[in-house]
Amino acid sequence: MPVLASHRKPRTRMRSTTPAVGLTTAALAGVTLLSTQSATAAPASPKPSIEDVQKKVDDLYRQAGTATQQYNQAKEASAAQRGKVDALLDDVAKRADKLNDARRALGNYAAAQYRTGSIAPSATFFLADDPQSYFDENQLMARMAGRQQKAVTDFRTQQAAASKKRTEAAKSLETLTESQATLRTSKENVQKKLGEARAMLSKLTAEEKARLAALERKKEAEAKRKAEELARQQAAAKAEADRKAEEAANQAGSGGDTGTGTGSDSSATTKADKVLAFARAQLGKPYVWGATGPSSYDCSGLTQAAWKAAGVDIPRTTWDQVKIGTRIATADLQPGDLVFFYDDISHVGIYKGDGMMIHAPKPGANVREESIYYMPIYGSVRPG
């Protein structure tokens, strides 16, 4: 008997695809989210090169130098204004005393008039013993009236003068307040720039600090090379000038002293010697912004003190010092001349010869000798 086929449908295994779809969707979402975050996240700033750090730190120190000159200028203005205010207040006090004297004199006349009263001229004539007595008394009264009028005039004059001086003193006090505010702002700017420079240097690794020091040595060596070249040029120029002077003397038949030296040249040399002697005595003392000695200096404080030792008063700031004396080309520099640096004239040093200077460099450094080519030269002057 044949086997009959079963009419039951075979069971079909149903696979659920939902979980797979869910996992795939979640995975895609995760990838998309990560991709989005990666795309939107700010890229990490690349670490600056050691050359960039050197440039930035040098610029911050230069800015601190500029702020130091602003501080020095504000300090000078504040001190000058304080002196003016004190003088005005003294004047106001003196004029107040004069005003009180005039007021007392006026009060005495008023009191006397109140006690004696006033008598009509006709009554005075009839009460007089004789006509001469009348005229004498009338003349005396006229003189008294003149003195009384003078007392009134003096009082008004002193009152107006005292009021004027009080107004001047009030305005000077306002100016002093402004100068002191500028002084505080300049001080904060110096501290801010120096803080930024220290912060940058503190983040360097030992290896980076070593590389920075190597860059500094390279910079110093290049500056020294330029100084030596200037020294050779100046020596050659001097030798040529001496040769021409000797030829001129021989042609003139003098055979002796050419007479080219002058008292003025001798005086300038003596002053320069004193300037350099003072500057050398300060070598090794620390740079402190705003300092004028004797234990520490900033750049313009050192140059001012050095020239003062030679009997020449020069201004406090680099911006004022560059305006005095005679402008000198770099090739014509002589010992004692002032050399200024940067476009904003924020630094100054004392030329000592052979392309070298003595200066107070920057915070953290001491007064030292250095090539004038270590920084970009703005110009030079010869004081005195």
Number of H helices, E strands in the chain: 8, 6
- Cα(208)–Cα(220) distance, integer angstroms: 18
- Cα(377)–Cα(58) distance, integer angstroms: 15
| 249 to 236, 243, 260: CA distances (angstroms) | 20, 10, 10
Contacts of 16 (CB under 8 A, 6+ apart): none
347 is known as an active-site residue:
yes
**CA 229 from chain center: how many Å?**
33
Q: What is the DSSP string of 318-337?
A: HHHHTTSSEEE-GGG--TT-
Q: Put residue 255 in one of left, alpha, beta given phi > 0 → left and psi -120 to 50 → alpha.
A: left
359 is known as an active-site residue:
yes
Q: Where are the beta strands (DSSP E) in 268-353?
A: 326-328, 338-341, 347-353
Helices 50-116 & 299-309 angle (0-180, nearest 10):
60
Query: 347-353 and 338-341: which strand pairing?
Result: antiparallel
First-to-last C-alpha distance (Å) of the chain:
143
What does the angle CA 323 – CA 326 – CA 332 come to, to the nearest 5 degrees?
125
Residues belonging to the chain: 384
Residue 315 burial (CB count, 10 A): 18
Q: Which of 183, 299, 348, 360 is catalytic?
A: 299
Q: Where are the beta strands (DSSP E) in the chain?
A: 326-328, 338-341, 347-353, 356-359, 368-371, 377-382
Question: Three-state SS for 376?
Answer: coil
CA atoms within 13 A on the CB side of 264: 2
Q: Which of 75, 165, 347, 362 is catalytic?
A: 347
Q: Which of 359, 370, 372, 374 is catalytic?
A: 359
Q: Hey, which residues are catalytic here?
A: 299, 347, 359
